[in-house]
């Protein structure tokens, strides 16, 4: 069940909220929490009930290990060294993720390197496994380091499975979530929260079904076609994907945040107008912020701590490695590793630039950053390395240039070797394609983002009308068949 | 009990700037060079100076001087 489905919006969400509110009203906080947990497990099982035991098993395992580590930290008996328990816990999580996400990648790589013919396992990736693995690894690390004081199986299970974030994040941290679940007994239904939460939800829905789904047609056509793309359709295909990814991903996070608000649970803000960034460092402070925090805390820092003394060069090495791993976490393929490596390199160059106090006008910085991000997403979107290179070849102009047939009369263009015809046919585009791309660019660069819109919004009739219009438009557009995309990372 | 006067020299040394005068309310936004990279230098310098060790999960909570000072003092006491 996706947020952008009728059964979610008209059945699942209203019933979940109604029961939840009425339990809270009677001050039955534990029942309300249990109900949220039940709703979350139902949401998870809707996709495929086969994986319910997997997520529950993972939760019980990590909760037990975390409990052992927390107790040992406070001076309990130690039949087994805490370090051994800790390493076992981390290794088990990584092994689980490797099995479900990376087996075929390892098999494929082995086949290429050793010229073997091992068969692929074709394992289906369980929903949310990348998320629930890393959030629980963070829990284990914190438990090992003595930071886990609050332990409650119900709150813990709810923190891992809480349905708003299961599909696309944000990545939650136990220290932010569990205390909120503990405080629920003091919550009362608040109309302003409900209104703002709904606003955020429908803004997110609009971003997903009206904007992202429109771009996805052109992006999919451009990236999955076997015919070589000429200059302009290649750029429009890559830009379409860059916009699709932002609007779908931040849209899902807005919806998650909105549902959270309605439930009095505040989820971390995950996007802050990333395409306004004027540098790669800036970009990662704005894009998938909860991931950046995770990578900084649990990847970059431990790598850096391996060194006894920190130098600038060592910090850069640690950044690059952390981004490489983060890239691989996003997907099991060389294209994701290259994507991570590109961003690692981008961050390294940005830091060197900054350290040497080299000048960078913001407009130029923005132009470089946006184009860098756009090109990097070609690797992110392509199904393979060859696919990415094919699109990049088109973007470099190596497949020639074709313009709209109405320009065929201009002799000067003809002399430059430009051909004319259905210029956007290869990406199933039309004039709407470039108009939408220009509008999207203006929106992401000049407009407020949804959090900014909602944070200063005072409920008023005018705003309510706009909200209804947005909601209505989004609901109408949901009838269109859209690409089934759930986040593999 | 560590005071802010004892912390200031470490900031000046890490950020290589003798004009820095931190207060309890100083944050990463107030000092130009205080970014994710130098933050780690700062943390490790503080750890060495006061013979303490921060947990990974605490590092992001050290982005303002007041919190950092409180955490240093909690760690020294235990």
Nearest CA in chain A to B37: A315
Across the interface, do B56 and A281 touch by the CB < 8 Å criterion? no
pLDDT tens for chain A, 489 residues long, are 788 888 899 999 999 999 999 998 888 889 999 999 999 999 999 888 999 999 999 999 999 999 988 887 655 567 788 889 999 999 999 999 999 999 999 999 999 999 888 888 888 888 889 999 999 999 999 999 988 887 899 999 999 999 998 878 799 999 889 988 888 877 777 788 888 899 999 999 999 999 998 999 899 888 888 788 888 889 999 999 999 999 999 999 999 999 999 988 999 999 999 999 999 999 999 999 999 999 999 999 999 888 878 888 999 999 999 999 999 999 998 999 999 999 999 999 999 998 898 999 999 999 999 999 999 999 999 888 888 999 999 899 888 888 877 777 777 777 777 777 777 778 888 888 889 999 999 999 999 898 888 887 777 888 888 889 989 898 888 876 565 555 555
**Using a CB-CB distance cutoff of 8 angstroms, which residues of chain A are in contact with residue B37?**
312, 315, 319, 351
Query: How is chain A split into domains, by residue range?
Result: 6-187, 193-279+360-477
| Phi (first) and psi of residue A146, to 5 degrees | 80, 20
> B33: nearest CA in chain A?
A355
Which residues of chain A have a CB within 8 Å of the CB of B56? 141-142, 145, 297-298, 301-302
ipTM: 0.86
Residue ranges of domains in chain B: 4-77
Q: Tell me the pLDDT tens digit for each residue of A55-65.
A: 999 999 999 99
Determine, for residues B44 and A315 on separate chains, whether the beta-carbon distance falls below 8 Å: no
Q: How far is B38 from chain A (nearest CA, A)?
A: 9
Cβ contact B37–A147 (<8 Å): no
Contact residues on chain A for B44, CB-CB shorter than 8 A: 310
This prediction has a pTM of: 0.91
Assign domain B4-77 to its CATH architecture.
Orthogonal Bundle (1.10)
Contact state of B57 with A145 under an 8 Å Cβ cutoff:
yes
Q: Cβ of A310 and B40 within 8 Å?
A: yes
A284: closest CA of chain B, how far (Å): 11
Active site residues of A: 330
**B1: contact with A, CB 8 A cutoff:** no
**Which pLDDT does position A75 carry in this prediction?**
58
């Amino acid at each position: 069940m996706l947020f952008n489905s009728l059964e979610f919006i008209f059945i699942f969400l209203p019933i979940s909220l109604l029961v939840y509110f009425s339990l809270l009203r009677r001050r039955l906080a534990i029942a309300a929490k249990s109900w949220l947990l039940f709703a979350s497990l139902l949401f998870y099982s809707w996709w495929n009930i086969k994986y319910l035991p997997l997520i529950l098993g993972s939760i019980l395992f990590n909760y037990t290990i975390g409990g052992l580590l927390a107790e040992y930290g406070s001076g309990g008996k130690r039949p087994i060294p805490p370090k051994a328990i800790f390493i076992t816990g981390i290794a088990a999580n990584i092994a689980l993720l490797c099995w479900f996400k990376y087996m075929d990648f390892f098999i494929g790589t082995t086949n290429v390197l050793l010229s073997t013919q091992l068969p692929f396992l074709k394992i289906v990736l369980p929903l949310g496994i990348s998320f629930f693995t890393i959030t629980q690894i963070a829990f284990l690390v914190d438990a090992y380091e003595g930071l886990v004081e609050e332990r409650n199986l119900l709150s813990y299970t709810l923190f891992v499975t809480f349905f708003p974030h299961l599909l696309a994040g944000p990545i939650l941290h136990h220290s932010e979530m569990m205390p909120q679940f503990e405080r629920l007994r003091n919550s009362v239904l608040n109309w302003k929260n409900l209104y703002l939460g709904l606003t955020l939800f429908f803004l997110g829905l609009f971003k997903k079904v009206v904007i992202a789904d429109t771009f996805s047609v052109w992006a999919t056509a451009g990236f999955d076609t076997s015919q070589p793309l000429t200059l302009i359709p290649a750029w429009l295909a890559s830009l379409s994907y860059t916009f699709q990814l932002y609007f779908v991903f931040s849209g899902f996070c807005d919806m998650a945040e909105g549902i959270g608000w309605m439930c009095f649970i505040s989820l971390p803000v995950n996007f802050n107008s990333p395409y306004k960034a004027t540098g790669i460092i800036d970009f990662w402070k704005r894009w998938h912020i909860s991931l950046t925090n995770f990578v900084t805390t649990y990847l970059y820092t431990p790598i850096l701590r391996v060194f006894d003394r920190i130098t600038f060069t060592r910090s850069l090495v640690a950044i690059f490695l952390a981004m490489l791993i983060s890239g691989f976490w996003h997907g099991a393929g060389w294209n994701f590793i290259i994507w991570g490596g590109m961003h690692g390199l981008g961050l390294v160059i940005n830091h060197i630039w900054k350290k040497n106090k080299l000048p960078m006008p913001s407009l130029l910085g923005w132009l470089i950053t946006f184009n860098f991000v756009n090109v990097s997403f070609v690797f992110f979107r392509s199904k393979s390395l060859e696919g990415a290179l094919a699109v990049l070849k088109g973007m470099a102009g190596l497949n020639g240039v074709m313009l709209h047939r109405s320009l065929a009369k201009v002799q000067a263009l003809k002399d430059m070797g430009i051909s004319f015809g259905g210029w956007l046919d290869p990406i199933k585009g039309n004039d709407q394609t470039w108009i939408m791309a220009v509008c999207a660019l203006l929106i992401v660069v000049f407009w407020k983002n949804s959090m900014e819109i909602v944070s200063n919004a005072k409920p008023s009739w005018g705003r309510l009308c706009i909200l209804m219009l947005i909601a209505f438009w989004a609901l109408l557009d949901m009838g269109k068949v859209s690409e089934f995309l759930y986040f593999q990372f | 009990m560590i005071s802010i006067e004892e912390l200031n020299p470490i900031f000046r040394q890490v950020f290589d700037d003798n004009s820095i005068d931190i207060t309890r309310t100083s944050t990463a936004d107030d000092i130009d060079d205080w970014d994710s990279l130098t933050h780690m230098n700062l943390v490790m310098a503080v750890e060495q100076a006061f013979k303490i060790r921060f947990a990974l999960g605490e590092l992001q909570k050290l982005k303002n001087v007041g919190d950092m000072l409180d955490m240093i003092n909690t760690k020294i006491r235990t």
